[in-house]
């Protein structure tokens, strides 16, 4: 299986995995820590996600989902940040997978250079198993269901008061443009990540992005006090949902990018991930006007969200500038991963130049139609309940 395993490349093609797939020998050593889960029998699937090795595994007690991370990406402390959030969501009734604890009581097991976590297999169908980020929903009802799932997640997240995550690769936080002085916040962000701090091209591209995104920050800044901090998923793409036979989302998975941001940031991330087909820009950067924008899905997503959790007037007004800004920090975090962990200058350049700067430039040009749709929606919203605050 390892000879044929493929993962999603940054340009949407299938490429050789950065991390070796799991083997039964790996799993037998791991399951010593989880005697209640039985013995591994068969690896049923190999995930095409690029940042870790993951598989559904059959045991003599049932099925489990296992992820293995390199410890430079997620050590036990880093996974515990995610697991505590998942435990809170589960206790609040959110449809998220349970994380199994080892006999020691720990939910993250470090072994050599690796860190493992074991989850229950989520209920439902993995309809988007092979879909990569920046590919659209199959239909508007799926977008509507995703919006409802995200709103329910935000309601369940309330009361989780853990602090923001420590600096780690592959986290979609929101600190740079949450500050009054984004230049100073950017300098702090880069200084906390040695692989970025020492890289001249990263500094150059980050400065370009800061200039391109400055009008959106100016628009968002007076609205920031109305966006209460909230732990959020930050990657609600269709492939991070499980589905019923119809158009109902049965579970939300993959909280690796989660952090303390705001509900509007999370909603903007979902718009950015699902509504704009960014791979068209990767393949044809000379024609940004040809990037498809799925406005029908946009309104379905937001209608679903607001059927559960109506946006306040300030939140609705903040959504357009936040959609333009929300990609920046993950782009830098992804560059940090490729430079500091994989030492891949080529992929890092795609993150800090094509992704960070390219998307910022698109929002200043062809992306104005998406932002205009969000602004029109906010202007036409009728204040009711929370929206009147």
Give the Cα separation of 385 and 275 in Å (integer).
28
* 151 within some domain: yes
Contacts of 136 (CB under 8 A, 6+ apart): 238, 274, 275, 277, 292, 294, 297
Within 10 angstroms of residue 29's Cβ, the number of other Cβ atoms is 15
The CATH number for 62's domain is: 3.30.200.20
The torsion region of residue 115 among left (phi > 0), alpha (psi -120 to 50) and beta comes to beta
* 79 within some domain: yes
* Same structural domain, 83 and 183: no
Q: Check whether 385 has a pLDDT greater than 60.
A: no
For the entire predicted model, the pTM comes to: 0.94
Within 10 angstroms of residue 202's Cβ, the number of other Cβ atoms is 24
Evaluate whether 74 touches 168 at the Cβ level (below 8 Å): yes
* Same structural domain, 71 and 166: no
Q: Check whether 331 has a pLDDT greater than 60.
A: yes
Give the Cα separation of 111 and 19 in Å (integer).
15
Region 262-280: what's the mean pLDDT? 96
Give the Cα separation of 264 and 319 in Å (integer).
6
* Same structural domain, 228 and 323: yes
pLDDT digits (tens, 9 = 90+) for 201-229: 999 999 999 999 999 999 999 999 999 99
pLDDT digits (tens, 9 = 90+) for 124-151: 999 998 888 778 999 999 999 999 999 9
* Same structural domain, 173 and 235: yes
Helices 327-340 and 200-220: crossing angle, nearest 10°? 160
The CATH number for 378's domain is: 3.90.1200.10
Q: Determine the pLDDT at residue 247.
A: 86
Name the token pair of 85: 């959030």
Name the token pair of 148: 């409802």
Q: Determine the pLDDT at residue 389.
A: 38
Domain residues for the domain of 295 are: 140-388
User: Which DSSP letter does residue 36 get?
Assistant: G
Instruction: Report CA Rg, the chain.
Output: 20
* 132 within some domain: no
* Same structural domain, 54 and 13: yes
What is the pLDDT confidence band of residue 387, given thresholds at 50, 70 and 90?
very low
* 2 within some domain: no
* 53 within some domain: yes
Give the Cα separation of 142 and 46 in Å (integer).
25
* Same structural domain, 154 and 245: yes
* Same structural domain, 154 and 294: yes
What is the pLDDT confidence band of residue 3, given thresholds at 50, 70 and 90?
very low
What is the pLDDT confidence band of residue 10, given thresholds at 50, 70 and 90?
low
Considering its fold, how many domains does the chain have in total?
A: 2
* Same structural domain, 213 and 66: no
* 134 within some domain: no
What is the pLDDT confidence band of residue 382, given thresholds at 50, 70 and 90?
low
Give the Cα separation of 168 and 33 in Å (integer).
26
Evaluate whether 121 touches 56 at the Cβ level (below 8 Å): yes
Q: Determine the pLDDT at residue 2.
A: 42
* 326 within some domain: yes
Q: Determine the pLDDT at residue 62.
A: 94
Chosen domain end from 88, 120, 152: 120
* 290 within some domain: yes
pLDDT digits (tens, 9 = 90+) for 24-83: 999 999 999 999 999 999 999 999 888 999 999 999 999 999 999 999 999 999 999 999
* Same structural domain, 156 and 86: no
pLDDT digits (tens, 9 = 90+) for 33-45: 999 999 999 999 9
> Is residue 341 classed exposed, middle or buried when 0-12, 13-18 and 19+ CB atoms within 10 A define those classes?
middle
State whether residue 7 is helix, strand or coil. strand
Q: Check whether 154 has a pLDDT greater than 60.
A: yes
Torsion of CA 47, 53, 55, 59, to 10 degrees: 170
Torsion of CA 310, 316, 321, 326, to 10 degrees: -10
Cα dist. 275→58, 138, 271, 281 in Å? Answer: 35, 11, 5, 14
Evaluate whether 62 touches 17 at the Cβ level (below 8 Å): no
Query: Which strand (E) or helix (H) includes residue 81?
Result: helix 76-91
Chosen domain end from 92, 120, 148: 120
* Same structural domain, 92 and 240: no
* Same structural domain, 102 and 150: no
Q: Determine the pLDDT at residue 388.
A: 39
Name the token pair of 97: 């997978």
* Same structural domain, 201 and 346: yes
């Amino acid at each position: 299986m390892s000879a044929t395993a493929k993962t999603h490349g940054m340009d949407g093609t299938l490429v050789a995995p950065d991390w070796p797939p799991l083997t039964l020998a790996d799993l037998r050593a791991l399951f010593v820590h989880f005697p209640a889960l039985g013995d591994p029998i068969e690896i049923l699937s190999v995930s095409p996600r690029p940042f870790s090795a993951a598989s559904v595994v059959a045991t003599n007690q049932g099925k489990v989902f296992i992820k293995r991370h390199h410890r430079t990406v997620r050590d036990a402390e880093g996974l515990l940040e995610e697991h505590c959030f998942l435990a809170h969501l589960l206790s609040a009734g959110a449809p998220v997978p349970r994380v199994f604890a080892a006999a020691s009581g720990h939910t993250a097991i470090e072994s050599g250079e690796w860190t493992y976590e074991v989850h229950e297999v989520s209920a439902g169908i993995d309809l988007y198993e092979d879909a990569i980020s920046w590919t659209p929903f199959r239909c508007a009802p799926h977008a509507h269901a995703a919006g409802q799932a995200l709103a329910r997640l935000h309601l369940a997240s309330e009361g989780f008061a853990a602090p923001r995550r420590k600096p780690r690769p592959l986290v979609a936080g929101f600190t740079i443009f949450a500050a009054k002085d984004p230049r100073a916040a950017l300098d702090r962000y880069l200084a906390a990540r040695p692989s970025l701090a020492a890289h001249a091209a990263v500094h150059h591209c980050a400065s370009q992005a800061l200039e391109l995104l400055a009008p959106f920050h100016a628009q968002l800044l007076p609205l920031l006090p109305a966006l209460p901090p909230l732990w959020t998923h930050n990657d609600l793409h269709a492939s991070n949902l499980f589905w019923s036979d119809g158009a109902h989302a049965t579970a939300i998975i993959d909280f690796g990018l989660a952090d303390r941001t705001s509900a509007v940031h999370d909603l903007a991330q979902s718009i950015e991930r699902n509504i704009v087909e960014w791979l068209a820009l990767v393949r044809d950067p000379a024609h940004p006007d040809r990037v498809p924008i799925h406005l029908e899905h946009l309104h379905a997503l937001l209608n679903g969200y607001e059927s559960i959790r109506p946006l306040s007037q300030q939140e609705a007004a903040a959504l357009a500038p936040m959609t333009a800004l929300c990609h920046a920090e993950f782009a830098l975090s992804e560059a940090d991963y490729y430079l500091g962990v994989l030492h891949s200058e080529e992929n890092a350049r795609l993150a800090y130049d094509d992704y960070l700067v390219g998307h910022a430039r698109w929002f200043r040009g062809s992306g104005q139609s998406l932002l205009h749709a969000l602004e029109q929606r906010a202007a036409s919203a009728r204040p009711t309940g929370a929206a009147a605050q």
